[in-house]
Structures are given as structure tokens and as C-alpha cells.
Structure 1
């Protein structure tokens, strides 16, 4: 059996769908019974990684686990999960981290992901790490300002990133979970082309058929917005430092990983936009 942690997120949902399509019956962890019903055929564990015993319940008796954690609680959740992986002898862990873990690690955001990788390695499980570039789905953060004022606010707007569709990261994960020969290594996962945030906004404007203003927001403005939304200041500082890293090796150069692992080309940003345009109208 395969456990899926983060089963209702942008990557976890297509992982569950891909496993079901292959005839597997994954065990998923979710706090929302309604979302669990959407994954018909999966075994659902209702709970939260902050609840004692929840990690044991979802990992007991499984052969492999797919794990994606996010946000300021991600590091604590990974520690809990790694301890449970060791207790239950899970043989293979596929963990989504970040290009920020590529050495040398330069900021606290990357350091937290690198520490998570180390924690899973220490369990004795075979570990596969997927290190994606920025997700195309991050573009959805613009929806409120695009619909409200026809404006995109984004710091570091001229740094190129080979943004990747979360479904392509999921496709890589499903293949790795199904083929032991692909496991036990780290993969940097990117999209097909490197685009700046400004260029992505221009493409969005073209598809919408109306102009959008692009504001290369000062980092301090972005920091105030994120801390004002409730994110811890130290987490925000690490995230912004990671986003500002100009090293093209950290997701700035398209790589063939998706094609090599899945046998198909990664989805383009234009194709992703076409499927999500309703969020911006």
C-alpha cells in the first residue's frame, strides 16, 4: 500500500488520481471528509499531522509514502512523519522539497527543506526527492488583483523560472512510486521554458484580451503583505530570500526530467493558463 500525505493539494490530488488509475488503492490523509469522498477508491484517514498518533495511523503497514508538506508548519510535520516512517519500516519515501535545497543552501527556506531530506534519509527508507522549480499554480495568487484592479503585484519580476505544472510533478512521483529502479535519487523538476513573472503576466493579459499592469513589488511590500496575512516573519524572510536567488541552476533552466521519467513533454504555461483562466475572470 502507498500512503499519500498532502493528498488534497495541487500535487497530491493528481498523485492520488494517478495511483488509482494504475489500480492502486492509496491511503490518504485529509482533514476534510468531503475531499476524501472525491478520491473514490482511496482509503481515507481523517486527521491532521499536528494530532498525536495521526502519522502512525496513516503510515502503519504501508510499503511506500508520498509526502508533500507546505507552509511554516512543514518542518515540524516532516519531523513527525520521519519518526513514523522509521517506526513502521516504510521502505520507500517520495518527498517533494524544493530547488532551494540544491547546494550550497543559501537561505532558511532551503535549509528547512534540506533538513527534511536529512530526516527522511536517517529513517533507513529508500528516499526519492523531487525538487521542483516554482509552481505554475502560484500564478493563482494574482487572481484577486487581476480581477479587482487589472494589476499583477510580484517581487523579483524579472528573474526567470522554468515554472512547472504541479500535475507534472505528480506524474513524476507516480512513475517513481511504480518503478523501483527510478527511486533512491533526487530529481530537479522544471517546466518546458523559463519565464519571468512579467512575461507570465503578459501571457495572461494576451489570453484575457485586456491589458494588465505589472508592478515589480518591493520585497518589503511583499513581506508586509505576507506577514499581514498571518505568516511568521522568519518563514517569510526565508521564502523571499529563496525567491530572489538568481542562480539559474535553482529552477531557472528547463530540464528534461519530466519527459525522461514520464515519457511525455511537460505542460506549457500557456496550456496551464487555458485550463485555469476562469480564476482570472
Structure 2
């Protein structure tokens, strides 16, 4: 049995659908029973990782676990999950981390992901770490300003990233879960081309058929916007520092990894936009 943590997110959702389509009945964790009903064929554990015993209920009897954690509570959640993986003898773990975890780690955000990888390795499970570049789905954060004022506000507007389709990360995860010999290592996952936020906004404007104004927001403005939503300042500072790194190996350089593991080219940003354009209308 495969347990999926992060089953209703941008990576977990297509992974669960793919597993079910292939005759596997994964066990998923979700806070919302309504979301569980959107994953027919999956067994649902209702709760969250802050609930005592929830990780044990999810992982008891599991042969493998797929894990996505995010946000300022990710480090604490990874410690809870790793402890339950060890208690229940889960043999295989596929964990989504970040290119920020590539050694040498250069910031606090990367250190958090690297610490998570270390925690899972300490369980004795056969661990695979998927380190994506920035997700194409991060573009959805532009929804409000695009629909409200035809404007995109984004820091580091001329910093290229080989953004990756979450569906490709899900497909890589499924291949590793199906074929354990592919695991036991870390993979950097990228899309097929390196694009700056400004270039992505231009692509979005072309897809919408109307002009958009791109504003290269100062990091201080981005920081204020994120902390105003309630995110802890230390977490925001670490995230922005990580996003500012210009070393191409940290997500700026397109790699063949998705093709090598799935046998097909990674999805393009233009194709991703075509599938999500209605969000921005």
C-alpha cells in the first residue's frame, strides 16, 4: 500500500489519479472530507499532521510513502512523518524537496529541505528525493492581480528558472514508486526551457490575447505582501533569499531528468498555460 501526504496539492493530485488508474488504491491524508471524495478509488485518512497519531494511522501497514510538505510548518511535519516511517518500517519513501537542498546549501530555506532529507534517510527507508525547480503552478499566484488590474507583480523578474510542470513531478514519482531500482538518489527536475518571470508574464499575455504590465517588485515589497498574509518573517526571508540565487544549477538550467525517467519530454510552460488559462480570465 502506498501512502500519499500532500494528495490534494498540485503534485499529489495527479499522482493519486495515476496510481488509481493503474489499479493501486493509495491511502491519502486530507483535512477535508469533500476533497477525499474527489479522489475516488483512494482510502482517506481525515486529519492533519498536527493531530497526534494521524501520521501513524496513515502509515501503518504502508509499503511506500510519497511526501510533500510546504510552508513554515514543513520542518515540524517532516520530523513527525519521518518518526512514523521509522516506527512502521515503511520500506520506500519518495519525498519532494527543492533545488535549494543541493549541496552546498546556501540559505536557511535550503537547510530546512536538506534537514528533511537527512531525517528520512535516518529512518532506514529506501529514499528518493525529487528536487524540482520552481513550479509552473506558482504562476497561479498572479491570479488576483492579472484578473483585477492586468498586472503581474513579481520579484527577481529577470532571473531565469526552468519551471517544471507539477504533473511531470508526479509522473516521475509514480515511476520511482513502481520501479524501486530508480530510487535511492536525488533528482533535480526541470522543465524544457529557462524563462524569467517577465518572459512567463509575456507568454501569459499572449495566451490571454491582451497586454499585461509586468512590475519587477522590490524584495521588500514582496516580503511585506507575504508577511501581511501571516507568514512568519523568518520563513519569508529564507524563501526570498533562496529565490534570489543566480547559480543556474539551482533550477535555471534545463536538465533531461524528466525525459530520462519517464521516456517523454517534459511539458512546456505554453502547454501548461493552455490548460489553466481560464483561471486568469
TM-score (norm 2): 0.99
The equivalent residue for 1:115 is 115
Give 1:257's aligned residue: 257
**Structure 1 unaligned blocks of 5 or more:** none
1:99-138 equivalences in 2 (<5 Å): 99-138=99-138
1:21 paired residue number: 21
Q: Which residue of 2 aligns with 1:43?
A: 43
Q: CA deviation at 1:21?
A: 1.4
Instruction: Give the C-alpha shift of residue 22 in structure 1.
Output: 1.5
Alpha-carbon distance in 1 for matches of 2:207, 2:22: 35
CA distance, structure 2, for counterparts of residue 274 and residue 209 of structure 1:
12
Partner of 2:9 in structure 1?
A: 9
Other-structure match for 2:272: 272
Output the aligned Cα RMSD. 0.5
Question: What residue in structure 2 maps to residue 162 of structure 1?
Answer: 162
Residues 67-146 of structure 1 mapped to structure 2, 5 A cutoff:
67-146=67-146
- In structure 2, the residue corresponding to 1:127 is in which secondary structure? strand
Cα distance in 1 for residues equivalent to 2:213 and 2:84: 48
Which residue is equivalent to 2:232? Answer: 232
Structure-1 separation of matches of 2:68 and 2:34: 20
Shift of 1:151: 0.6
Distance 2:265 2:53 in 1: 40
Superposed displacement of residue 38, structure 1:
1.0
* SS of the residue 2:29 aligns to: strand
The answer for the alignment partner of 1:174 in structure 2 is 174
- Count, aligned residues: 281
* Alignment partners' CA distance in 2, 1:167 and 1:230: 29
Q: TM-score, normalised by structure 1?
A: 0.99
Q: Distance in 2 between matches of 1:180 and 1:231?
A: 37
Query: How far apart, in 2, do the equivalents of 1:107 and 1:247 lie?
Result: 13
Supply the distance in 2 between the matched residues of 1:17 and 1:211 (Cα, whole angstroms). Answer: 36
Deviation at 1:122, TM superposition (A): 0.4
Report the Cα distance in structure 1 between the residues aligned to 2:132 and 2:242, rounded to whole angstroms. 13
- Cα distance in 2, alignment partners of residues 230 and 33 from structure 1: 26
Moved over 3 A (4+): none
> What is the CA–CA distance in structure 2 between the aligned matches of 1:211 and 1:43, rounded to whole Å?
45
Question: What's the secondary structure of 1:67's corresponding residue?
Answer: strand
**Structure 2 partner of 1:221:** 221
Distance in 1 (CA, whole Å) between partners of 2:180 and 2:211 is 48
Is 2:32 aligned against 1:63? no
Partner-residue secondary structure (3-state), 2:224? helix
> Which residue of structure 2 lines up, in the alignment, with residue 184 of structure 1?
184
